Amino acid sequence: MEMKNAKVTIGSRGSDLALWQARWVQQSLANAFKDIDVSIEIIKTTGDKILDSPLSKIGDKGLFTKEIENALLSRKIDLAVHSLKDLPTQLPGGLTIGAITKREDPRDVFIPHPGNPIRTLLDQSQGAAIATGSLRRRSQLLHKRPDFVIAEIRGNLNTRLKKLEQSRWAGMILAKAGVVRLGWEERIGEVIDATVLLPAVGQGALGIEIREGDERIAKLISSLHHYATAQATIAERAFLRKLEGGCQVPIGTHGRVENEGDTQTLKLNALVGSVDGSRVVQGNIQGHPSKAETLGKSLAETLLAGGADEILREIRVDQPVEIP
């Protein structure tokens, strides 16, 4: 592919994790195409500016992506690197996901307070305070341990670790992928099995967003696309799209493509819970990876019929006002 002296600009948020991800894409492209100049443009999003309110109170559609997408549409940047879990299931007109990268471990981890000798989540003492900014985690935690006190936390990884050290919390829950990417693995007390906490939709994967019809950039990033991750997350995102959920709705999923002899099977587990964890509706489905979209939608319909529709209706009565 002829890319001699080409310039490519990546749009990214400015957090340590976002920049790690953007630089990983930058380096991958530089390694694959020796004659291109790949730069990174840092763009501040609404989600980066509002740090004193829970995500569930300020709306989440495009919270971490809208400003970056505007830069993409105005051709200020050529591609955007997102944590796939931050990317809304409905993209603005003119934009598409050009590649989904190989997924890191999608599970959550428990980071105990430095002074807490109990390393595992569910072995914490009665009434322990666990920090998280996620309704998904809150719902599943309280479903299993109604005695837990949930402490609200926002901010980047370094900010959260500092808050934990200064607190009396037993610990906090984070996505393993971010903790590993920033080199904080030694702080992990436990990698939480997906049967205990289902991850967020797309967790652990990167979504590379581009303009529709931009064949030059599409070809450039095609080598970063990972089929198995893409199909697993397409199923997860189809599930979420059918439910019209987001950060303000407790939804967990775990999609993966498994090899069984000479065949591949896409397996998807998913859950919808009430904010207080008192009710949880969950299920699973499997089929050929090429049917990812259909599988995700079908499982959503099954859960809706099984009571998820009632949970979602109740949550949306107190729907947050979306910030323009």
The CATH number of residue 181's host domain is 3.40.190.10
Q: What is the mean pLDDT of the chain?
A: 91
- Choice among 37-51, 61-75, 78-92 with the minimum mean pLDDT: 37-51
197 part of a folded domain? no
Q: pLDDT tens digit string along 129-163?
A: 999 999 999 999 999 999 999 999 988 888 899 99
Q: How many CB atoms lie within 10 A of CB 287?
A: 15
Determine phi and psi for 75, rounding to 5 degrees: 65, 25
150 part of a folded domain? yes
54 part of a folded domain? yes
Say how far apart CA 210 and CA 80 lie, in whole Å.
Answer: 7
User: Which residues are paired to 96 by β-bridges?
Assistant: 210
Two tokens, residue 59 = 């709306």
Catalytic residue among 86, 123, 262, 309: 86
Domain that holds residue 90: 1-102+206-224
Q: How long is the chain?
A: 324
Structural contact between residues 3 and 35, judged by C-beta atoms closer than 8 angstroms: yes
Active site residue 86: yes
Structural contact between residues 148 and 128, judged by C-beta atoms closer than 8 angstroms: yes
Burial readout 259-280 (b: 16 or more C-beta within 10 A, e: otherwise): eeeeeeebbbbbbbbbbebebb
Is residue 71 located within the same domain as residue 213? yes
Q: Supply the pLDDT for residue 162.
A: 94
pLDDT range class, residue 246, cuts 50, 70, 90: low
Nearest to 270, CA basis, from 289, 249, 286, 284:
284
41 part of a folded domain? yes
Please compute Rg for the chain using Cα positions: 20
Q: How many domains does the chain have?
A: 3
270 part of a folded domain? yes
Q: Looking at residues 62-90, what average pLDDT do you find? A: 91
200 part of a folded domain? no
